[in-house]
Structure 1
Amino acid sequence: MYGKAFAPEYQGALTTLSVNSSLTDVLAAGTEQLKAAEQAGQPGEAARSGLAVAEAHRRLGRVEEADQAWKASYRAARKAGDTAAMAWALWSGGTLARQRGAFALARRLLELAAELGEQGGDIVVRGYSLAGLAETGRIQGDYEAVGRLHEQLLAEARRRGEARHTVWALEGIAQMHRNTGGYDTAYDLFEEAAGIAEEANDHRGHAWALRGLADVVSVRDGDTERALTWLSEAEKTCRTMKLSSALAYNHKMRGNVLYRAGRYAEARALYEQSLAEFRAMREPRGEALSRLGLAKSLARLGRDRAETAAELADLATTLDRIGLKHAREMVARAHEELGLAGASGTRAATYADAGAGTPADGADSPAEVAR
């Protein structure tokens, strides 16, 4: 039913690259081809090789380099009069903006990318851009607004037999079910995604699906060892492919699993590790979620209650600024879980009423669209 996964963002002379190519290899090949295209005066090829460079930098967590690369790709595409290539550059820029927590900018860029993709007759970039918009809304907790779009994109991907995009959509829908307490449905969807990804040789999609399965069996079944085994398998893929962001989220999820198991010292070490990783790549959402886990772990290990309350208050402000609805609710639940409601009961109640859905403790979602 599904063909082998491919990476449509590797274009022009780089179409021979695999979806599973190491990002350092992609960056090296893309940079070499970009220089050659610029020297040959081929702006169209420069735009498409520059897209691979931008995506490699983004997934490696090199924010400034990724920002420069997607903009250069867009300029080259505009010079070449290549509307589809302009759309791909905007998709990359919108995805980077979401990764950096700039959700309003992400939506603007992805909306424009979808429009240009349609104008340029490239249904793939249109689909990826709509998927980016769906994921942006999902990350912010607007499940009702983007749920139907996820389902629509899943149906389109199934119809085309596009494994990679089918896996993405299944994982996104699964995450929404998981965050609203539908653990059995979430498990089934993550399991289907893992199976399709494995059959299609999509290592990245498979790693994200394993992470989702680990989360569900941890929170639903209390099966710590099975969760850690899946996370270890996924981590191998992240390291092999140099997936910096995915690796940091893997470490944060490992912290979640250990915290739920009452292994607070081990959880603290993992949260500290993921926090450092997210800060290095300047990813505010992952940083805030790691800080939340770390604050809870430290509280369990005897940290002063006033210090914990102050940390949670600062986190609530940060999450408000980023615009993560369901994450704000996690702060409110942390107050209750740690017995701090008396110290900041009004604040906690305010955050508890603020967002859509009621995700369970430690919930979050993949940071990358079309990973």
Structure 2
Amino acid sequence: MYGKAFAPEYQGALTSLSVNSSLTDVLAAGREQLAAAERAGRQGEAARSGLAVAEAHRRLGQVREADRAWKASYRAAREAGDTAAMAWALWSGGTLARQRGAFALAWRLLGLAAELGERGGDVVVRGYSLAGLAETGRIQGDYEAVGRLHEQLLAEARRRGEARHTVWALEGIAQMHRNTGSYDTAYAMFEEAAGIAARADDRRGHAWALRGLADILSVRDADTGRALALLSEAEESCRAMKLAGALAYNHKMRGNVLYRAGRYAQARATYEQSLAEFRAIGEPRGEALSRLGLAKSRARLGHDPAETAAELADLARVLERIGLRHAREMVRRAQEELGLTDATTGRARAVEPTAAAATCGAGGAVAGSAQDGR
């Protein structure tokens, strides 16, 4: 039903690159082809080689370089009059904006990319751009608005037999089910995604699916051993491909699993690790979620309650500024779990957040749905 996974963002002279190619190899090949195209004055080829350079930088967590590269790719595509290549550059820029927590910019760039993809007759970039819009809405917690789009994109991917896109859609829908408590449905979808990814040799998609399975094994079944084993397996792929963002989210999930198991000292160390990784790649949402896990782990280990309350208050403001939609609930759950509420009024003693962001997993662990490292 599904063929081998491929990477449509590797174009022109780079189509021979595999979806599993190490990002350092992609970057080296992309730079070489980009330089050759620029010397020859072939702007269309420069745009397509530059796209691979931009994506390699983005997935390696090199934000400034990625920003320069996608903009250069767009300029070259515009000069060449290549509408589809312009759409791909905008898709890369929109995906980077989401990774950086700039959701309004992500919506704008991805919307333009979808329009140009349709105008340029490139159904793949149009699909990827619509998927990017769906993922942006999902990450912001607007499930009602984007759930139907996820389902539509899944149906289209299945119809065309596109393994990589099918895996992405399954994982996105599974994450929404997980975050709304439908663990069995979520597990089945993550399991299907893992199977399709494995058969299609999509190591990136497989790693994300394993992360989702590990989360549910931990939160639903309290099966810490199996969850950690799956995360270790996924980590191997992240390291082999140099997936900086995916690796950081893998480590954050490991912190979640350890926290749920009551292994607070190990959880603290793991959250510290993921926090440093997110800061290194300029990923504010992952940084905030790692800070939350770290604050809760420290509190369990005897950290001063007033300082914990202040940290939660600051996190509420950060998450609101990022533009996520469930911060009040997340922070409230953390307050209740850590005993930072007044027993008679139910109000927070030191923290009264006013808005918006991610979900809190059962058992007090920080959930997380990002697939930005894709």
Aligned to 2:69: 69
Aligned to 2:198: 198
SS in 2 for 1:20: coil
- Pairing 1:129-168 to 2, within 5 Å after superposition: 129-168=129-168
Aligned to 2:24: 24
TM-score (normalised: structure 1) = 0.97
How many Å separate the matches in 2 of 1:346 and 1:299?
15
Shift of 1:347: 7.8
Aligned to 1:5: 5
Task: Flag structure 1 segments of 5+ consecutive residues without an equivalent.
Answer: none
1:345 aligns with 2:348: yes
How many Å separate the matches in 2 of 1:247 and 1:7?
20
Alpha carbons of structure 1 residues 327 and 205: separation in structure 2 relative to 1, 3 Å: farther
1:333 aligns with 2:336: no
How many Å separate the matches in 2 of 1:339 and 1:96?
38
Tell me if the contact between 1:90 and 1:110 (Cα under 8 Å) persists in the aligned partners: yes
Shift of 1:329: 2.3
Shift of 1:191: 0.1
Tell me if the contact between 2:48 and 2:73 (Cα under 8 Å) persists in the aligned partners: yes
Aligned to 2:173: 173
Tell me if the contact between 2:323 and 2:356 (Cα under 8 Å) persists in the aligned partners: no
Tell me if the contact between 2:333 and 2:360 (Cα under 8 Å) persists in the aligned partners: no
How many Å separate the matches in 2 of 1:222 and 1:288?
25
How many Å separate the matches in 2 of 1:317 and 1:355?
10
- Pairing 1:48-63 to 2, within 5 Å after superposition: 48-63=48-63
How many Å separate the matches in 1 of 2:361 and 2:352?
16
Tell me if the contact between 2:204 and 2:237 (Cα under 8 Å) persists in the aligned partners: yes
How many Å separate the matches in 1 of 2:347 and 2:128?
42
TM-score (normalised: structure 2) = 0.96
Task: Flag structure 2 segments of 5+ consecutive residues without an equivalent.
Answer: none
Aligned length: 369
- Pairing 1:32-47 to 2, within 5 Å after superposition: 32-47=32-47
Shift of 1:280: 0.6
Tell me if the contact between 1:319 and 1:328 (Cα under 8 Å) persists in the aligned partners: no
Cα root mean square deviation, aligned: 1.7
Q: What CA deviation, in whole Å up to 9, does each residue of 1:1-31 have, x standing for no partner? A: 0000000000000000000000000000000
Shift of 1:350: 5.8
- Pairing 1:259-278 to 2, within 5 Å after superposition: 259-278=259-278
Aligned to 1:368: 372
Shift of 1:106: 0.2
Alpha carbons of structure 1 residues 28 and 279: separation in structure 2 relative to 1, 3 Å: same
Tell me if the contact between 2:268 and 2:297 (Cα under 8 Å) persists in the aligned partners: yes
Tell me if the contact between 1:143 and 1:356 (Cα under 8 Å) persists in the aligned partners: no
SS in 1 for 2:348: helix
How many Å separate the matches in 2 of 1:177 and 1:358?
14
Tell me if the contact between 1:197 and 1:206 (Cα under 8 Å) persists in the aligned partners: yes
Shift of 1:358: 7.8
Q: 2:323 is aligned with what amino acid?
A: G
Shift of 1:338: 0.2
How many Å separate the matches in 1 of 2:326 and 2:347?
19
Tell me if the contact between 1:278 and 1:284 (Cα under 8 Å) persists in the aligned partners: yes
How many Å separate the matches in 1 of 2:267 and 2:372?
24
